[in-house]
Amino acid sequence: MSTSKQNVLSFPGCTPAPLMTYLKAIGVFRIIAEQCDSQATCWWEDEVFRIATSLSQEELFSFFLNEYRPAPVLAPWTGSSGFYPGDNTEILDAFLSSDHQRFTPYKTAIDQAWLALKALGLTMKEKKVFKEQMARKKSDLLRYLRNTMCEEALAWLDAAFLLTSGNPKYPPLLGTGGNDGRFDFTTNFMQRVDLLFCIATGEARPDAAAFLDHALYDTKICGMHKKAIGQFHPGFAGGKNMGASFEADSLNNPWDFLLTIEGTLLFAASGSRRLNSSDKESLSYPFCVRSSAAAYESASDGDENNTRAEFWTPLWLKACRLPELKFFLSEGRAQLGRRNAVRGADFARALSTLGIDRGIEAFNRFGFQERNGQAYLAVHLGHWKVRERPLIHLLNECHGWVERYRRCASAKTAPRRLVSALRNFDDALMRACKEEQKLTGVLIALGRMEQALVHSPRAAVGSDTMPAMSPLPKLSSRWIQAADDGSIEFRLACALASIRDDEALGPLRCNMMPCDPQRPWTRYDAAKMDQPQIVWTHGTLTDNLIAVLQRRCLDGQRNSLAKLPLSGACPLPLSDIISFILGQVDERKIERLLWGLNALRWKKGKKYFSDYRTDPLSLPLPPAYALFKLTHCPEFPESHEAVESKEKIPLDPSIMALAGAGRVEATRMAARRLNASGWKSFVRVAPASADQIKRCAAAVLFPLKKYDLRKLTGRLSITAQESISDVPEAENKTIL
């Protein structure tokens, strides 16, 4: 719609800003569209809220000061609302005695509230008795009010509570039915009306125009009122550490609170139209989800327990009228496929998979959290752009497993490590959705969740309070590209995770956690949580790799396998392995990635990385590694001319036993084993430190590309015509 002949009202700085600013902006639009200009439109432009109306600035001021009719905001079901025995009824009486037209809806609503209380017998003069009766008949009162009150009051009632087959539900935007602890929204709303207008005559008070100018155009003003603002503007809530001194008052503009409450009415609980959840105790309201303590700096474990909900406020680009906006906000749905978003992490995924497709540019995320004693404040948790991120679709492959894990971690008897791993996953997921990152952090978090289950066997096998868990489900090979951050650690972890033997031993995963080699994704078995082939411990990566290498070699020998079970679908170049041996990699990252990559479907023979470097080695090749690798090869490439025999090299377990202890004798035994098998190695012994011997032994587990394996044999061997004595003794200690 063209706005060239219309006055465009702007609200600068609405994002990121307190929730009050957002609600106030749409409250102004709601009032204009309902009471004076039905053709008015609103939209967001450059994160600024704009209203196009036919009213000039002078006409707009005149309307708010002289004609604006406040919504009848009442809560006769709460204490200190003016309806309880002993409450101050002065302001209610002022509305009842007023004859001005602008307060007629308020007057009517108050009369109907009193009639409802009388109809249900809630007229006792003793406050204690009245309170007991109200507790028993509160649901009946809310239902009676919803059926009998005037049309103008229904928007407030629908925003304040939602009637269900059981107890009433209260949208978190308005606390617990119109109050937040002792702070009553309705009483404060009526007090703001009294500050701005003379209720008896309906005329605006002298300072109302200046406050209105400040509320609409952010002009400077002095003499703010010392009134509580509640949860909507944490910075002006007052109290300790809220100003330059030790304590500060809550100062605010009466129009701000008035317009904020008016804005909440657009989120009236047409959420009752969204009762499509199988869990009736977790009803969803427009753009409200359960809290996820993730993806913001102040996140802590206690936030999810001390938070009412998260509220995601939409910013739309297309100009729309009030009926369109009401329908859009009332629908208020974010979906993951056929499922509604339930938590903040789900909402973030919906934004990344275009579950929100109504022309929304972005969302501001707010959490209603305990931040000032037991008071709840609407804390701004970030600004989220709505963009499609196809990689996030991969989370559908493990969504069911994550939800079962969530139920397991939410049990009262759940180990602490399960809760910590789940929170880490939510944080990694939401940051990947927001910052368009690779899924490296998400994959690491999934692995950490599985590791937590392995270290908590009682939780893994299930109980009366926790569901039985299974290992991570099979993930497609698309995760490799989605999680590849280009680091050498990722390639090293992929090489380890791709190691498998389909005959008897299964993948490397079977040496790290309890699972059936033939069916590694079945549920955990309590009787098999301590299998002998599980050798992965809390030790260093080097020690664990040596332990796995020794175990797989022994199991392969015991099962009379044709070759050592060390083959992998993702072999490495020598340059990456040498970097590991020299300690130039982050071993903790390799191990964290390995736990997640273990769940991938590795297809044997498929090339997962096509950009491996084939340039000459820039780092020296330790001879100890060459000796260990050639004595532990699953299969050899085409025979080198230096090899007199084509028979495979017999396995000698004592080589790795000595290497695992860091003893240099392991290299001498490996050289003897090669010579005895028809190799003419010019290295008799490879002197090195104990740490380097162990790292060379651990590096043997990494699958090596056949091209580099042939290169390795050429560097370590001499031709059969040469005599070992012809090789200078100095070369026995030379780095290859």
Mean pLDDT calculated for residue range 49-56: 91
Is residue 702 over pLDDT 80?
yes
- pLDDT attached to residue 636: 65
Residue that the structure tokens 């290859």 belong to? 736
What is the reported pLDDT for 323?
92
- Type of residue at 560: S
71-72-78 Cα angle (round to 5): 130
For residue 375, the Cα-to-chain-centroid distance in whole angstroms is 25
Whole-number pLDDT of residue 278: 43
Please tell me the predicted confidence (pLDDT) of residue 83: 85
What's the mean pLDDT when you consider all of the chain? 82
β-bridge mates for residue 380, sequence order: 366
Using CA atoms, how far residue 716 sits from 54, 518, 571, 678, in Å, is: 88, 38, 20, 13
The model's confidence at residue 258, banded by pLDDT at 50, 70 and 90, is: very high
Contact 422, 474 (CB under 8 A): no
Per residue in 108-118, pLDDT tens?
999 999 999 88
- Whether residue 425 has pLDDT greater than 80: yes
CA atoms within 13 A on the CB side of 87: 22
Model confidence at 467: pLDDT above 50: yes
Query: Which is more confident, 192 or 387?
Result: 192
Residue 71 banded pLDDT, cuts 50, 70, 90: very high
Specify the higher pLDDT residue, 130 or 689.
689
Instruction: Tell the residue number behind the tokens 């709505």, with chain if given.
Output: 386
310-338 tens-digit pLDDT: 899 999 988 999 999 988 887 777 777 67
At residue 298, the pLDDT reads 78
Whole-angstrom Cα distance, residue 332 to residue 651? 66
Rounded CA gap, 666 and 654, in Å? Answer: 8
DSSP state letter for 278:
S
Q: Is 152:72 a contact under the CB 8 Å cutoff?
A: yes
Average pLDDT in the 35-42 region?
93
- Mean of the pLDDT values across residues 689-701? 94
Among 303, 285, 286, residue whose Cα is nearest residue 294? 303
369-399 pLDDT, tens digit each = 887 666 788 888 889 988 888 888 899 999 9
pLDDT at 290 over 70: yes
